[in-house]
């Protein structure tokens, strides 16, 4: 067979494989990839199709290897580059993903699919501002594609483009009125002024008649809007329906998370903090971290926005790289999530390796400011490691009224330990025990902020916080709502407003329903005023 005939044959096999990929016929895609590589072992297309098969089979390591080989064979392939960036993001190799995106995003102008994928990867690695123009271009090239519109809307929320996001969700719901997640996302964007949207969502429940575990997001959305309207009892009923629905399908035991907290208290003691193995020098110089921590919904995002409005501070948002660094350094085989074994092992490792593992992972986000914020609430678990790794780190711990804290988590869809009042109460008690441990261990290094005090005296509390962090006061910190950087948290809408006290003592509207939670907390010695 001539070279021309071979090329034509391979082209036809490739076309068959791509059509099969569109219809998710992965057996055919795999067969086509194998046939191509059998005929040409250096075919970028063969490795590309193999990568798609591995990706669909949820084998990210093999998918990344296949895409990397394809890109090595043909560096012009932007589709391969974006697929590889996606796999890097999945494996939390964010710096590598960011480098690929920066190199190839300018070559995506005629591909709505890969513009959208590149934008999604940018969003996943915390760079929503780079995602927005790519999402816009994808929608311009191929208007009316629901997933492109929804991705654009979600990115708009992160960037504070709330009106754009509302318009997009309303347009999507006009086309598919029963799309529950779009109802949920729309409900989060504004205060309900009347019951119109509530009735629309109830009509969806009535018309679809799905089992409870398929209605989780719309239950939360209805509860939220009923709460906006002051219909407290019915709002709580929908929140409870949502939490119960999640619990019915979740494989979760709060005892495991409490065991982790107890292990941290046992391992991270004063002798451990003062001693330990030698320290590898820090590889990323000139950067001092500020870790903002606390239970979710306690004002961590608000505090992040206040501090990130300072000229000497930048925020890298929420990453899981502190946990990842601990898991990697621990040496525990298959440690892809935190557990007591990882804590025990990591505590005996060179703390400098943990610091470098974290800093090298987040380095791609750094600008030219000397201080940076990591704002992941659950890093409150790792304050001992943080204190040991960075003697000069700022550690800001947000507190809020226990009942407001627990209820705010209970009525959100994000927190695995908060879907039942019993679980959230037990977790709060364990968290309170850990906070007391950190106070004793860290002393004045732990900067505690009361959410209620912050919203009541913004300037006074801001000045005090800046002073404790060794930063001069800047008036911009009082106008955090003007900060245009992205926020991809549960509070992404609220931080676009001026500071307010509407959420203080919100739990009082649900005092009767929350009585079992109150009794649990009070029986553990937690004072409820």
What is the mean pLDDT of each successive set of 10 residues along the chain, which is 529 residues long? 56 90 94 92 94 96 97 97 97 96 94 97 96 96 95 93 93 96 95 97 97 97 98 98 96 96 97 77 80 96 94 95 95 83 95 94 94 97 96 96 97 93 98 98 97 95 97 94 64 63 91 97 94
- Alpha-carbon distance of 193 to 470, in angstroms, equals 44
Cβ neighbours of 255 (radius 10 Å): 11
Residue 433: strand, helix, or coil: helix
Instruction: Give the pair of three-digit tokens for residue 85.
Output: 């960036």
pLDDT of residue 141: 96
DSSP for residue 400: -
How confident is the model at residue 205, as a pLDDT?
Answer: 98
**SS3 state of residue 290:** strand
Q: How far apart are CA 368 and CA 372, in angstroms?
A: 10
194 burial (CB, 10 Å; 0-12 / 13-18 / 19+) is exposed
Q: Quick one: pLDDT at residue 2?
A: 43
Handedness of CA 280, 284, 287, 291 (dihedral sign): negative
Helix/strand/coil for 313: strand
Strand locations in 425-524, DSSP E? 446-450
Closest CA to 515 of 298, 236, 297, 253: 236
Question: What pLDDT is recorded for position 10?
Answer: 77
d(CA 20, CA 28): 6
Residues 6+ apart with CB under 8 A from 267: 343, 344, 347, 384
Question: Across the strands, what pairs with 290?
Answer: 373, 394
Q: Is the pTM of this model over 0.85?
A: yes
Provide the pLDDT for residue 321. Answer: 96
* Residue 485: other Cβ atoms inside 10 A: 16
Can you spell out the DSSP letters for 343-362? HHHHTTS-HHHHHHHHHHHH
Whose structure tokens read 């962090």?
469
CA-to-CA dists, residue 63 to 120, 380, 387, angstroms: 18, 34, 38
Pairing of strands 394-399, 313-315: unpaired
Phi, psi angles (nearest 5°) of residue 75: -70, -10
Angle formed by the axes of helices 180-187 and 196-208, nearest 10°: 160
Tokens describing residue 35: 């046939």
Residue 270, Cβ density class (10 Å: 0-12 exposed, 13-18 middle, ≥19 buried): exposed
Per-residue model confidence (pLDDT) at position 85: 98
* Cβ-contact 524, 430 below 8 angstroms: no
- Asked whether 458 and 478 are in contact (CB, 8 A), the reply is yes
pLDDT of residue 5: 45
Mode of pairing for the β-strands spanning 394-399 and 288-293: parallel
66 burial level (CB within 10 Å; 0-12, 13-18, 19+): buried
Q: What are phi and psi of 301, to 5 degrees?
A: -70, -40
């Amino acid at each position: 067979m001539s070279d021309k005939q071979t090329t034509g044959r391979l082209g036809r096999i490739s076309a068959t494989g791509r059509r099969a990929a569109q219809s998710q016929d992965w057996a055919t895609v795999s067969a086509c990839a194998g046939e191509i590589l059998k005929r040409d072992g250096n075919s970028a297309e063969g490795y590309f199709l193999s990568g798609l098969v591995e990706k669909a089979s949820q084998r990210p390591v093999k998918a990344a290897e296949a895409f990397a080989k394809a890109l090595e064979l043909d560096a012009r392939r932007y589709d391969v580059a974006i697929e590889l960036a996606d796999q890097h993001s999945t494996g939390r190799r964010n710096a590598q993903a960011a480098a690929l995106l920066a190199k190839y995003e300018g070559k995506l102008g005629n591909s709505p699919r890969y513009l959208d994928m590149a934008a999604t990867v940018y969003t996943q690695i915390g760079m929503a501002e780079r995602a927005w123009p790519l999402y816009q271009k994808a929608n311009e090239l191929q208007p009316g594609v629901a997933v492109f519109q929804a991705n654009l809307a979600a990115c708009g929320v992160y960037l504070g483009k709330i009106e754009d996001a509302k318009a997009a969700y309303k347009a999507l719901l006009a086309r598919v009125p029963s799309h529950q997640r779009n109802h949920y996302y729309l409900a989060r964007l504004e205060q309900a002024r009347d019951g119109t949207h509530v009735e629309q969502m109830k009509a969806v429940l009535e018309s679809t008649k799905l089992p409870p575990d398929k209605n989780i997001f719309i239950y939360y959305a209805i509860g939220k809007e009923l709460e906006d309207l002051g219909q407290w009892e019915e709002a709580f009923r929908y929140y409870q329906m949502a939490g119960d629905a999640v619990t019915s399908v979740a494989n979760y035991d709060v005892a495991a998370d409490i065991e982790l907290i107890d292990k941290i208290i046992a391992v991270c003691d004063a002798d451990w903090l003062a001693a330990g193995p030698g320290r590898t020098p820090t590889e990323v110089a000139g950067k001092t971290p500020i870790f903002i921590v606390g239970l979710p919904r306690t004002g961590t995002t608000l505090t992040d926005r206040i501090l990130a409005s300072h000229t000497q501070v930048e925020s890298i948002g929420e990453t899981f790289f502190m946990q990842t660094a601990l898991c990697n350094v621990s040496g525990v085989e298959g440690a892809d999530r935190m557990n007591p074994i990882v804590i025990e092992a990591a505590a005996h490792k060179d703390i400098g390796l943990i610091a470098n593992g974290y800093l090298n992972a987040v380095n791609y986000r750094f600008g030219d400011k000397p201080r940076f914020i990591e704002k992941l609430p659950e890093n409150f678990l790792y304050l001992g490691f943080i204190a040991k790794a960075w003697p000069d780190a700022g550690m800001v711990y947000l507190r809020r009224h226990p009942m407001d804290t627990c209820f705010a988590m209970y009525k959100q869809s994000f927190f695995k330990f908060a879907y039942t009042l019993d679980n959230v109460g037990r977790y709060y008690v364990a968290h309170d025990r850990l906070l007391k441990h950190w106070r004793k261990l860290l002393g004045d290094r732990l900067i505690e902020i009361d959410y209620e005090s912050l919203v009541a005296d913004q300037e006074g509390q801001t000045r005090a916080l800046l002073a404790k962090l060794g930063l001069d006061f800047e008036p911009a910190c009082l106008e955090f709502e003007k900060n245009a950087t992205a926020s991809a948290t549960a509070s992404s809408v609220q931080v676009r407003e001026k500071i307010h006290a509407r959420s203080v003592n919100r739990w009082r509207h649900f005092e009767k329903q929350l009585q079992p939670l109150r009794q649990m907390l009070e029986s553990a010695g937690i004072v409820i005023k």
